[in-house]
Structure 1
Amino acid sequence: MRKLIFILMFLACLFARDVFASCSLDNGVPQLKDIALPTRTIIKAASIGEELAKHRVYLWPYGGGIVCNGSNVAAITTNTALLPSALPRVYETGIKGIGVKFCLGLNAHNDNTWCTPFSWTVTDGAGAYPPRFIDVVFVRTGRGVASGNAPMTFNAMWDVGGVRLTIRSQGTTELVNDLFFAGCESVGAAVNVQMGKQIIENIKKGSIPEVPFNFDVRCDGLKPNTKVPVKVYFEGNAQADGMLKLSNLGQSGVASGVGISLVNDKGAKLPFDITRSIALDWNRDAADGSIYRFSGKAKYAPTGGEMKPGKGDATMNFVINYN
């Protein structure tokens, strides 16, 4: 009988202590804090995972606090329609390459912050202070970075021992990107340059006509009329810059002693190495990005050795270099 009474009393004490471990808010500390973020922000250069821009808003001043008894778990969370990104504690903004994180600081005299979601243990009230500021940090999440409006409607909550403080934001922030491309891609199908039938003697004399060709590249993620250089180089079975070897050389029915000479519209030989990339010309702005154009010329040219007739096909790829 004595043993049973001892167990019941021990459980009652545990229960009483658990109820007693709670917190209360000092008088004069409002539980809701509305904040306003800038409507427009110009981002800076940053590597993936690093800060593009930051807004700090100061919250509850010193002098008010939270009184706690016993140990309590403090937690900071964010209630938002934004989806989590692949980076920890970073949310997608809906703008390509840009995420956002919400970080609270407990001391206005240093920059230490904890980004949501995060939790820690408060013992006997130690560290149970209302957050002094919030940092809304825009983060680069990918190689391509665009511009656009980021929805900044969210509630950031600080909870401890039954007390909740809420930081509320509404509206949008326009993020302006003057630095990065969101990406570039070719426009249209593969370019098929019809070289036609040519006489060997005319190729030897260099009297055959050049065949013009061009292709377009679309880049998005920049403001209209931003004419940032985009470069290109080529890949293929090249004898040297500006001279492409024929496909299937040495096989029956394939011409020999001839290749395809390639220059741009300014007469520069097309490079087959990234270190010699050449600029594309800005052509126009479109609804879905800026259009850059390459214009070139191709013709058959002697490569040395005996020139024999046959098929004269060749292929090459162009590689966009915009970083």
Structure 2
Amino acid sequence: MLFKKMLSTLILVTTLAGTHSAFAACNWWLGRPPPGKITISPLAGTTTLSPAPIGQAMASQKISFYSGNASTEDCKTGDKWGMTLNVSGLESAGLPNVYKTNVEGVGIRIGFDKPLSGNWGGVEYPPFEYQTYPTIPIPFPTQVTIDFIRTGTAVGKGPISFNFSAQFQATGLTPINIVGTNLTTEVANNIYFSACEAQVKSLIVPMGKVASANIRNGNTQAQNFNLNVYCKGLRPTQPAPVKIYFQGATTSDGLLKFNDAGQSHVASGAAIELTNGKGTRLPFTPSKALNLDWQHSQPDAEVYHFAGQARYVPSGGEVKAGKADAVVSYVLVYN
């Protein structure tokens, strides 16, 4: 019987839109536009991560970049305003407005705000575009928010450096450029594992030849199997929980069907029962995942252990001889 780890990837794709209008035009309030180009000041040297689910912010930095009070005015019905964004050299992380970084599991999201302004209405993440209303001025943003988004189960640490260029646009006005150059911070991670994996990628459990009469009588020998799991990147004061559940062709938790079940060359009336060291059938749903036993610390990893057993059992109907192999995958749950 073969045990292996199974991985999957989910990618979400977003479509970005710019701003455009051919007929109407806005002006700057009192004819006082912001500077045509504004450069963002450096990030804080260290960014310390906090717990967050995948897709949410583990940390944020806010940087004020403009102290003026510029706003649009005289916009007409049908005019548009909004912002675009280009992040140099970083690709989408598969989450809306989030870009991958060189640190595993950490993406960045860049937003803009005009604090305490009801007309702006909170942090906005480019690209976005809205229609103007003639009697409501749109303030120019004064603050950038850099969110550090969790993009995966494993989360690393280390330096992040990036550049970006954003544009504030309104119908008829020259775009205002907001740029960040060589923005660098050291990501400090003391709460997440960067990776957990088994010492042996695939595990074969020899089940041997078993007489059908022994299966009918429940007189079969259990075969032991063991997994050692190494988790790197976190130095907890107490071992962090790591769990395991399984995936495969089952009729219920811990009862595994044979490969090609129903074919003439495959045994029938039997299945492989999988249990842990306490005799409990192994779970095949995330909600029932079992805790792994922490063993010890190594210089670069925390070591966990799982012990299980596999044995042939009757599954209903007449027990007939034949090939009786099965495959099951395991999923590690951590962070």
TM-score between both structures, scaled by the size of structure 1: 0.61
The residue number in structure 1 matching 2:99 is 91
Identity of aligned residues (%): 20
Asked if residue 176 in structure 1 is aligned to residue 184 in structure 2, the reply is no
Does the 8 Å contact 1:232/1:279 carry over to 2? no
The residue number in structure 2 matching 1:295 is 307
SS in 2 for 1:137: strand
The residue number in structure 2 matching 1:278 is 290
The residue number in structure 2 matching 1:230 is 243
Task: Decide whether aligned partners of structure 1 residues 134 and 322 sit closer, same or farther in structure 2, where only a CA change above 3 A counts.
Answer: same
> What amino acid is the match of 2:109?
K
The residue number in structure 2 matching 1:101 is 109
Q: C-alpha separation between the residues in 1 aligned to 2:80 and 2:130?
A: 6
Asked if residue 137 in structure 1 is aligned to residue 150 in structure 2, the reply is no
Larger CA Rg, structure 1 vs 2: 1
1:54-92 deviations in whole A, cap 9, x for unaligned? 322223224x54798988976534343123454444333
Task: Decide whether aligned partners of structure 1 residues 285 and 125 sit closer, same or farther in structure 2, where only a CA change above 3 A counts.
Answer: farther
User: How far apart are 1:322 and its partner, in Å?
Assistant: 1.9
More helix by share: 1
SS in 1 for 2:234: coil
SS in 2 for 1:35: coil
The residue number in structure 2 matching 1:35 is 41
Residue of 58, 63, 67 corresponding to 2:64: 58
Higher RCO (Cα < 8 Å, 6 or more apart) = 2
User: How far apart are 1:292 and its partner, in Å?
Assistant: 4.3
For structure 1, list consecutive stretches of 5 or more residues without a partner in the other structure: 1-17
SS in 2 for 1:194: coil
The residue number in structure 1 matching 2:126 is 116
1:105-149 deviations in whole A, cap 9, x for unaligned? 234455523322345688999747542211223345x55452334
What is the alpha-carbon root mean square deviation over aligned residues?
5.3
SS in 2 for 1:172: strand
Task: Decide whether aligned partners of structure 1 residues 30 and 163 sit closer, same or farther in structure 2, where only a CA change above 3 A counts.
Answer: closer
SS in 2 for 1:115: coil
1:191-222 deviations in whole A, cap 9, x for unaligned? 3222345689999796x8653322355667x5
Q: Which moved more, 1:193-202 or 1:211-220?
A: 193-202
User: How far apart are 1:243 and its partner, in Å?
Assistant: 6.4
SS in 2 for 1:116: coil
TM-score between both structures, scaled by the size of structure 2: 0.60
- How many residues get paired? 296
The residue number in structure 2 matching 1:214 is 226
Q: C-alpha separation between the residues in 1 aligned to 2:324 and 2:129?
A: 66
